[in-house]
């Protein structure tokens, strides 16, 4: 039996930029906003954090800054995934050296691999660190998905703690929870699937919406953990529209736009990501106005 890295809501925090550089002053403000809002863990340099367009130096510095600023008040999960196993090892070991509580490792993308390759990839990394690993299944971005049998095999490694599931495949998710039990945990990777996933045993969410509404996601996930699915469902339905609008274009384009509309001044996204289409921006604004996030 393993202990889950965290329960509840972890924000997949954005990386704020200013003058084409990481804005560390703003990042410190965002971290404080999350901790004050009840977030259980900060996930840094993931997809929402634009880890794929950070230089290696920027990536390691951003992870290190976050860990030092958080100062053990909540867990810090460092994005360290790559389609190059050796690069993932390097990022993982550097994050561990900085003091990360856990790692988030997306499946290899573009070159992809087989299920046997996934097992070898993750076990190779897990053998070379001493902190827990959360694997990340997001086939819409990578063109590759785990099977429940692969999850079961990975659950045997003491350092592989579970998965961030963004496959929308509830058969896979249910089969994995049934097969692995407390040897391998599941977290939602899609905000709008958190309630149904937690209803069948997921331990929480790694959330995009938490960037703008940390207290909401903390309350929703806590309600699920407490077994109060009536309240969780009410919250889910109340904010379902904004969850959808934050994915009206490729993440994190909309969430950064939303944060800037709220005066949070997180800057631009890096190319190839670009500003929202004006029509989509108006839809985002309308959704935010409806729930009082902006006037």
Residue 109 bears catalytic tag: no
CA distances from 268 to 13, 73, 78, 265, 279 (A): 14, 28, 22, 9, 18
Catalytic member of 26, 75, 164, 222: 164
CA distances from 148 to 103, 138, 176, 257, 266 (A): 21, 15, 5, 36, 38
Residue ranges of alpha helices (H) inside the chain are 24-36, 56-70, 85-98, 115-126, 139-142, 148-154, 170-180, 194-199, 214-225, 229-238, 240-245, 253-261, 278-290
Distance CA 168, CA 189 (A): 9
Catalytic member of 136, 151, 185, 239: 136
Burial class (CB in 10 A: 0-12, 13-18, 19+), 293: middle
Angle at the Cα of 65 from the Cα atoms of 59 and 71, rounded to 5 degrees: 140
Residue 164 bears catalytic tag: yes
- Secondary element (H or E) of residue 76: strand 75-79
Active site residues: 136, 164
């Amino acid at each position: 039996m393993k202990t889950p890295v965290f329960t509840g809501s972890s924000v997949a925090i954005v990386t704020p930029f200013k003058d084409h550089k990481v804005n560390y002053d703003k990042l410190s403000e965002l971290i404080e906003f999350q901790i004050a809002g009840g977030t259980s863990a900060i996930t840094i340099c993931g997809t929402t954090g634009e880890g794929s367009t950070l230089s290696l130096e920027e990536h390691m510095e951003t992870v290190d800054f976050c860990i030092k600023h958080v100062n053990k008040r909540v867990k810090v999960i460092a994005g360290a995934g790559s389609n190059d196993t050796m690069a993932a090892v390097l990022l993982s070991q550097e994050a561990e050296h900085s003091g990360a509580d856990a790692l988030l490792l997306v499946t290899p993308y573009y070159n992809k691999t087989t299920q046997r390759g996934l097992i070898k990839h993750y076990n190779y990394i897990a053998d070379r660190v001493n902190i827990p690993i959360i694997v990340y299944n997001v086939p819409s971005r990578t063109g590759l998905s785990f099977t429940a049998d692969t999850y079961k095999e990975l659950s045997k490694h003491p350092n592989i703690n579970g998965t961030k599931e963004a496959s929308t495949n509830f058969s896979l998710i249910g089969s994995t929870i049934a097969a692995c039990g407390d040897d391998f945990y599941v977290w939602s990777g899609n905000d709008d699937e958190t309630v149904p996933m937690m209803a069948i045993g997921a331990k929480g969410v790694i959330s995009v919406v938490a960037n703008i509404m940390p207290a909401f996601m903390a309350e929703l996930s806590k309600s699920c953990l407490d077994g109060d699915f009536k309240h969780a469902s009410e919250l889910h339905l109340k904010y379902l529209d904004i969850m959808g609008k934050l994915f009206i274009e490729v993440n994190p384009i909309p969430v950064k736009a939303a944060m800037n509309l709220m005066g949070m001044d997180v800057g631009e996204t890096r190319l190839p990501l670009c500003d929202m289409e004006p029509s989509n921006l108006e839809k985002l604004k309308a959704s935010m106005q409806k729930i009082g996030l902006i006037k």
